[in-house]
């Protein structure tokens, strides 16, 4: 139920993101979700892709620094309170969110929220017990 994500450290210049997108596209890699933020001279690109190992290899071969980690991809109702319901479960179980990013799968119906949580196993158990749908890598890549 956990999904592998790649974090790529980029120099903050106009071609960085385009170069990565082109490397991945040229190698048949599909980006399922992404988030990017900058911090001065550098940025961090977080991506979920259809082939994590191949992506990591391609990026390393092209000189990028990266790390892989596991995140949770949750399906929530795309309506007011959808996010709050998930955060309430995490709060009730003493779980802190490191970061999140989201994707609306079907506007007004389904939202996907990607969570980085330090205690993933505890989060999976708490969320599952609360009836929150946690997607697998295969489900995310099939979208």
User: Residue 108 class from Cβ within 10 Å (0-12 exposed, 13-18 middle, 19+ buried)?
Assistant: exposed
Q: What is 71-141's CATH topology? A: Alpha-Beta Plaits (3.30.70)
Q: Tell me: domain 2-69, CATH 3.40.50.620, correct?
A: no
Question: Could you read off the pLDDT of 71-122 as tens digits, one per residue?
Answer: 999 998 888 998 999 999 999 999 999 999 987 666 667 888 999 999 999 9
Could you give the 3-state DSSP secondary structure of residue 21?
helix
> Could you read off the pLDDT of 37-74 as tens digits, one per residue?
887 788 899 999 999 999 999 999 999 999 999 999 99
**For the chain, domain boundaries:** 2-69, 71-141
Q: Is the pTM of this model over 0.85?
A: yes
Instruction: Determine contact, residues 73/46, Cβ cutoff 8 Å.
Output: no
- Above 80 in pLDDT, residue 143? no
**Same fold across 2-69 and 71-141:** no
């Amino acid at each position: 139920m956990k999904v592998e994500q790649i974090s790529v450290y980029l120099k903050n210049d106009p071609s960085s993101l385009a170069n990565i997108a082109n490397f991945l596209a040229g190698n048949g890699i599909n980006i399922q979700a992404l988030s990017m933020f900058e911090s001065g001279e550098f940025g961090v690109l977080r991506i979920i892709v259809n082939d994590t190992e191949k992506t990591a290899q391609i990026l390393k071969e092209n000189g990028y620094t990266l790390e892989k980690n596991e995140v949770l991809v949750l399906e929530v109702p795309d309506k007011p309170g959808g996010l709050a319901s998930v955060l309430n479960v995490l709060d009730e179980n003493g779980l802190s969110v490191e970061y999140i990013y989201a994707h609306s799968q079907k506007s007004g119906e389904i939202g996907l929220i990607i969570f980085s949580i330090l205690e993933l196993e505890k989060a999976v158990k708490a969320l599952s017990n609360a009836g929150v749908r946690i997607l697998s890598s295969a489900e995310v890549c099939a979208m």
